[in-house]
Amino acid sequence: MNRADRKLLELMQSDVDLPVRKLAEKVGLSTTACWNRIRRMEEAGVITKRVALVDPARVGVGLCVFVSIRTREHSSEWLAGFAERVAAMPEVVEFYRMAGDVDYMLRVLVPDMIAFDQFYKNLIKDTSLADVTSRFAMELIKHTTAVPIPPG
């Protein structure tokens, strides 16, 4: 990736609705060259998706819970089944396998404590977990979907 690609990524992460003509102007390319670079980054998987960002509270899922999980089971078969089941839960918006004292970390969005309790019961159902710890976010201080683009 060169300087123009990096600048395009920065611009598109702040406003994906900018017309290609405007992006091209800001990066110093022709519209065609700019469009070709965007398509190339999409094809290479650098740009994975273009989406609308939604305010969770305004759509009724304002309770954010971070769930850390430790397990006694570490086989690849168990992981595949667990990962498939948890990834299919719509409340789980992020799901990581971790290094350190926690095996998995989830970010869960639900309407309220009653909904979280139901989520928790579904999570532990039919699964042997060593420890599940939930941490409730009280205030969002910073949230960005923008990936820092290191200089080239």
Q: Give me the DSSP letters along 19-76.
A: -HHHHHHHHT--HHHHHHHHHHHHHTTSS--------TGGGT--EEEEEEEE-S---H
pTM of the model: 0.89
CATH class assigned to 57-136: alpha beta
Helix (H) or strand (E) holding 16: none
Give residue 17's pLDDT: 94
**Per-residue pLDDT in tens (0 to 9) along the chain, 152 residues:** 899 999 999 999 999 999 999 999 999 999 999 999 999 999 999 999 999 999 999 999 999 999 999 999 999 999 999 999 999 999 999 999 999 999 999 999 999 999 999 999 999 998 989 999 999 999 999 999 999 999 87
Dmax over CA atoms of the chain, in Å, equals 57
Level-2 CATH architecture, domain 3-43: Orthogonal Bundle (1.10)
φ/ψ of 115, rounded to 5, equals -65, -40
Domain ranges in the chain are 3-43, 57-136
- In tens, the pLDDT along 10-45 reads 999 999 999 999 999 999 999 999 999 999 999 999
Please give the pLDDT value at position 150: 93
